[in-house]
Structure 1
Amino acid sequence: MRRSRRSYLALVTLLAVADASFEDDAEIQVSMNKAWPYSNPTETYEYYDFPFCKPKIVMPHFMTLGQVLRGDRLVNSLYPMHMKRQVPRTVICSRRMTEADIRMLKEAIDQNYMFELFVGELPIDRPFGVVSTMGNEKDEQVTDRYFLVNYLDFIIGYNEKEVVSANVTRELNLEHLVDITEWKEGMVIQFSYSVQWTPLPHIIPSQALELQLKSTMPHGHQNMDIHWLAIINSFVLMLLILSLFLLIIIRVVRSDLSRYLQIPDEELNAVEEETGWKLLHADVFRAPKHRLFFCSAIGAGAQMTSMMIMVVLVGCIGAYYQRGAVASAAVISYMVTALLGGFVSANLYQKLGGEKWAWNIFMTALCFMGPAFLIWSFLNTVAIFYGSTAAFPFPTILLMFAMWACVTFPLTVLGGIIGRHRSLKQAQAEGSPFPCKTNKLAREIPSCRWYQSPVTQFFASGFLPFSAIYIELHYIFNSVWGPRIYFLYGILLLAFTMLLLVAGTVTVLFTYFHLNAEDHRWWWRSFGSGVAVSAFFYLYCIYFFLQTGMNGFLQCSFFFLYSLLAAHGIALMLGCVSFYCSYFFVIYIYSRIKAQPPALLRLLAASLESRRVPAQA
């Protein structure tokens, strides 16, 4: 299907505020949007790509950045509508159909194509038509009859001067349909509409869009009850796991510290040689390999975490009922939090003794946006080839590049400069940023047991945190890859908090196991816990795809590549959180043993003191 080539000259901004108040007989804007197969929500096309009646001049309407990103293309329509003016069934146009037009419409009906239009700011979606099976299966005389929806019966609700609801009659009967099973020479189809106005004083105008969207979700209360029950069960399970792990960590670590620090002077001779994690005080703060990339990933993860928190908190205050509002909020949050990402990355890189700080900041800015740009470039090319509205218009591409180059990247550089100078000032005031000095030669790492292996950590640190969110993922995926709108951001905040707590706790537990096995390579392993969760997330994406009816190269490429990008973001986010949990844990335990000299040195000091006393006597 080819898309009509026209320039999108409409102004695109981040936020839109429209006046929904109308005087009597004032014109109400009716906009046609996009069309898509029900099973492939990303495969979107312009409404007028199909053989419907269209205005002589197709004019694009105002759209927010989020609407453009989700593939909306609002244009004018042939449906005149005025406030409180009743309109009987009226023919708006007659279109002569060619054989190719009928074939295209039949294929669209076979694939359950939907189209969307807006009455003011209220969206309405309807199917192209229906297929009816005629005949007797026993006589093997079964034929499919194709019926096209050519009559839209609008039912508009108003509250004084506000339009508070907009619907189209969903009960399809013969007066709403026309048979297009067989094409005939000179075939003409008439398209008509009618408008009925109904007063609805019980609907508050500020809640009109929310009620409009929720009315399209059948069995909402039943699904909500199941949703809450599943979340409560998951929350209780995660609390038990979290309590168990915290109990293990606190009891074991406190026991180690007590045996090491609270030793009476008269029992010094009985102190055994240091074992376990206490042997690594000269290696535990050794800079990891590829520290430039490591610090860049940590900084990008801090930016992704803060962006996610901002988006969820704003959703808790007021849900994103405007179409594309989540995308707009995510873009704005990502730009603003670039300052934090640069600060965290450069600060950590300076503590680890890095010298290529400019490259570190540059890699931080590209750590997420680099893969995102490569994936978007490929998918945008695929969308252009298919003529889909999923392809970004050229002005939007320029706007996105300008926002990254003029806002995100400069804020990353500014944050990096502040973070580096902060680390230098701390080094001048306090000396070493770590409680223990590092030897020049690394300690030999012994073999570990099965529960201390990286494979065990990868599975446990991935599966346990993922189990805290997999229930909520089902509802999120149904909104991202389906017609539903997600509005339960309070539950999402709860699930996100559980995810961070469990991921951090499990990572700290395995960090302790590795240090106790005399393995000081904890830097990348702690970050790898986030990668493990993202691996389970991507496996769930595959499972979700198999449960849907998605098909075609465009839809499959969009689903799997954008899911891969989401998994990359989750790896950065949870990798950063897991690393800092382990980082503060390691700082805590080794700062405690720094307060006392190592046991062998204490024995030597006691021995020297005992020899010095007789000489003085």
Structure 2
Amino acid sequence: MGSLRGFGLWLLVSCLAIIRSGDGFYLPGSYPHEYQVGNLLSVKVNSLTSIETELPFTYYSLPFCRPPEGIKDSAENLGELLMGDRIENSPYRFKMFTNESDILLCRTDPLYTRKGDFLLRWTGYPIGVRAGDAYYLFNHLKFTVLVHKYEETNVARPGWMVVGFEVVPCSFLHNAESAKNLKTYDKYPAKIQCDPTTVAMKLNENQPVVFTYEVAFVESDIKWPSRWDAYLKMEGAKVHWFSILNSLMVIAFLAGIVLVILLRTVRRDLTRYEELDKESQAQMNEELSGWKLVVGDVFRAPSHPLLLCAMVGDGVQILGMAVVTILFAALGFMSPASRGTLITGMLFFYLILGIAAGYVAVRMWKTINVGDHSGWVSVSWRVACFFPGIAFLILTTLNFLLWGSHSTGAIPFSLFVVLLLLWFCISVPLTLAGGFIGAKAPHIEYPLFFIMSSLWMGRVYYVFGFLLIVLILLVVVCAEVSLVLTYMHLCVEDWKWWWKSFFSSGSVALYIFLYSVNYLVFDLKSLSGPVSATLYLGYSLFMVIAIMLATGTVGFISSFCFVHYLFSSVKLD
């Protein structure tokens, strides 16, 4: 008993810690790397993105300086590939604690007109700026590397760890002719003054560009475990709390309505019914009204029961994936040091939870058919193929658009094959296994501004504590709304509650889709081109379908349990 109390106390403290902070907490995603003075540091680059197109492109699709040893792709995980990341090596060369200035990187070939407006996504500095009708390029980068001393006993020389990285872009008018005979990493002949408030390097047709850089190392008090704190500290916590408290007031109001229905109306009727003898019950049956009149029809099979079971099963899978992923992220297991971990985790949990989807769908199918589990294989296959099929259709269509635009956001064909193998070898067998377990089980007897900005405007979102609270509130609201509407339908003698309970809570997806359109029109004004708008609407549709299945399942299961409880004491003669 003592150990159970201890575990309960630990769980309560953990939950309170998550709710209290709301900010990004994480566990280390990599081991500290110690460098000695003079050791070579590798600098890598990622895809180019823009909030005007939402189309990522490879870094070297623009005429930047290329590394002398050639372009080499870094090994990337599944999540990074799905996000459109393409991490490659760069020509920038740093030596630990060796300050360098006025270093020539390269002199490009004469430029030709190309569409710009790109933004370096991860480091977050612009590659150029528009002033009037002219475009100016940032061709000099001022790097500042923050390092922390790492001292160990019995070590002659202390090591250094990189704990921060800053870059200031500047536009400097170089003399292209003076750099014509220089090689990479040579000293530029003139002193370069980096002033980020002025621009000088104007882009002109048939004119080469000279790229230079400088680097300075600064000792910092930031320790290795705290190196991400500056990036993950999210502002606007008061706004999050205000929104949550506002939602709590709505939930409390809905909860009051549900309690009135359950305690004052339903429970009173059931208590009176249970206290009557059989003769009195028969007499009372003649005077029944409201929801009690549909006692013989309320559990009649709905229309399209196979589709309903498949959608409920997929909803369980999506909702379970969301809850488990956000819970792990709130507990700090999704480290920002491991890029793509969140997407990879979502995919992993979705595949594993296929067993829960199959179990719930088949058991619901068996319940609707009054214990007959024939056809459970067909139900399991529909669960395994319904939402993944929709997702595959949407992603394939969008992928053709991305392929046509030569964007890194296009999923490679090899990755498509990997995803299909994961689905066929993991998700489908687990769904069938869950369906088999559900077929053997006895049937049930009758008786949205911050996240959008993070997704589409490249802003960091790491307040998974708040997100977990909001998810819990969403589940509670969906359950309460579905209960109230189901009870109202039963009171007017409408026994067809199955689909209505699903779409009463699933209709929240319609609001999210309309909000997505509103966000596209009024907030993403810079989004340009039909391809970008189509990509945005396609991904929004994919997200909305997943939300509809998850929230609809919450409402349906809540209403099913409510109806089961409601009619458990009403005897059918």
Task: Calculate the TM-score normalised by the size of structure 2.
Answer: 0.83
Measured in 2, the distance between the counterparts of 1:238 and 1:558 equals: 35
**1:249-264 matches, cutoff 5 A:** 249-263=262-276
Aligned to 1:148: 137
Cα deviation for residue 38 of structure 1 reads: 3.2
Query: Contact (CA 8 Å) 2:141, 2:170: kept in 1 or not?
Result: no
Deviation at 1:198, TM superposition (A): 0.6
**Structure 1 contact 320–487 (Cα < 8 Å) conserved:** no
Residues 243-262 of structure 1: CA deviation (Å, up to 9, x unaligned): 23332343221232233233
Decide which moves more: 486-495 or 312-321: 312-321
Q: Give the unaligned 5+ runs of structure 2.
A: 1-27, 150-159, 174-192
Q: Work out which of the residue numbers 515, 538, 546 in structure 2 matches 1:569.
A: 546
Q: Tell me the equivalent position of 1:403.
A: 422
For the Cα contact (< 8 Å) 1:145–1:179, is it kept in 2? no
Contact 2:138 2:169 in 1 (8 A): no
1:539 aligns with 2:514: yes
Greater mean deviation of Cα atoms: 486-495 or 229-238: 229-238
**3-state SS of paired residue (2:570):** helix
Q: Distance in 2 between matches of 1:520 and 1:576?
A: 19
- In structure 2, relative to structure 1, the CA distance for the partners of 1:94 and 1:538 (3 Å cut) is same
Contact 1:27 1:83 in 2 (8 A): yes
The 1:496/1:212 distance shift into structure 2, 3 A limit, reads closer
Task: State the SS of the aligned residue for 1:45.
Answer: coil
Residue 150 and residue 402 in structure 1: after superposition, are their counterparts in 2 closer, same or farther (change >3 A)? same
Partner secondary structure for residue 592 of structure 1:
coil
Deviation at 1:235, TM superposition (A): 2.2
Q: What's 2:217 paired with?
A: 197
Matched, 1:335 2:355: no
AA at the equivalent of 2:162: V
Q: By how many angstroms is 1:171 displaced?
A: 6.8
Taking a change above 3 Å as real, the CA distance of residues 581 and 411 of structure 1, as seen in their structure-2 partners, is same
Is 2:245 the counterpart of 1:232? yes
Q: How does 1:415-430 map to 2 (within 5 A)?
A: 415-422=434-441, 426=442
Check conservation: 1:28, 1:81, Cα contact below 8 A: yes
After superposition, the C-alpha distances for 1:86-135 in whole angstroms (9 at most, x for unaligned) are: 2222001111213x2xx22xx41xx3x2124xxxxxx41211112223xx
Secondary structure (helix, strand or coil) at the match of 2:228 reads: helix
CA distance in 1: counterparts of 2:217 and 2:428, whole angstroms: 51
Counterpart of 2:166, as a letter, is N
Which deviates more from structure 2 when the two are superposed, residues 318-327 or residues 251-260? 318-327
What is the CA distance between 1:280 and its match in structure 2?
A: 2.1
User: Offset at 1:181?
Assistant: 4.0
| Distance change (3 Å), C-alpha of 1:539 and 1:324 | same
- C-alpha change, 1:247 and 1:23, in structure 2 (3 Å) is farther
Partner of 2:152: none
Distance 1:18 1:192, change over 3 A: farther
In 2, the alpha carbon distance for the partners of 1:334 and 1:372 equals 13
Q: Which has the larger share of helix?
A: 1
Distance 1:486 1:420, change over 3 A: same
Aligned to 2:10: none
Q: Which residue of 2 aligns with 1:357?
A: 376
Alignment of 1:32-431 (within 5 A): 32-40=45-53, 42-56=54-68, 57-98=70-111, 100=112, 103-104=113-114, 107-108=115-116, 111=117, 113-116=118-121, 123-133=122-132, 144-160=133-149, 161-169=160-168, 175-176=193-194, 178-184=200-206, 187-201=207-221, 203-212=222-231, 214=233, 221=235, 223-263=236-276, 271=284, 272-318=286-332, 320-321=335-336, 322-353=338-369, 355-422=374-441, 426=442
1:119-173 CA distances to partner (integer Å, 9 max, x unpaired)?
Answer: xxxx41211112223xxxxxxxxxx332111111100001123211101025767
Residue 521 of structure 1 aligns with which residue? 496
Alignment of 1:444-455 (within 5 A): none
**CA separation of 1:22/1:368 partners in 2, compared to 1, >3 Å: closer, same or farther?**
farther
Distance in 2 of aligned mates of 1:340 and 1:209: 36
Query: Relative to 1, partners in 2 of residues 1:483 and 1:20: Cα closer, same or farther, differing over 3 Å?
Result: farther
Alignment-mate amino acid for residue 391 of structure 1: A
Q: Does the 8 Å CA contact 1:304/1:334 hold for their aligned counterparts?
A: yes
CA 1:434/1:269 → structure 2, altered by over 3 Å: closer, same or farther? closer
Query: Which of 540, 554, 557 is residue 534 of structure 2 equivalent to?
Result: 557
Partner letter of residue 446 of structure 2? P
Which deviations, in whole Å up to 9, do the C-alpha atoms of 1:354-377 show, x marking residues without a partner? 532211111101121010000000
What is the SS of the residue equivalent to 2:416?
helix
- Asked if the contact 2:139–2:172 (Cα under 8 Å) also holds between the matched residues in 1, the reply is no
Indicate how the Cα distance of structure 1 residues 248 and 279 shifts in structure 2: closer, same or farther if over 3 A, else same. closer
Partners in 1 of 2:33 and 2:385 — Cα distance? 41
Q: Which moved more, 1:337-346 or 1:236-245?
A: 236-245
**CA pair 341-23 structure 1, distance change in 2 beyond 3 A:** farther
Q: CA deviation at 1:270?
A: 7.0
TM-score, L = length of structure 1: 0.77
Give the 3-state SS of the residue equivalent to 2:125 in structure 1. Answer: strand
Q: Which moved more, 1:55-64 or 1:229-238?
A: 229-238
- Structure 2 residue identity aligned to 1:93: C
Structure 1 counterpart of 2:215, one-letter code: V
C-alpha separation in 2, matches of 1:231 and 1:274: 42
- Report what 2:479 is aligned to: 504
Question: Could you tell me how far apart the structure 2 residues matched to 1:566 and 1:381 are?
Answer: 19
Deviation at residue 287 of structure 1 after TM alignment: 1.4
Whether the 8 Å contact between 1:166 and 1:212 is mirrored in structure 2 is: no
Q: Look up the SS of the partner of 1:198 in the other structure.
A: strand
Where relative contact order (Cα < 8 A, 6+ residues apart) is larger, the structure is: 2
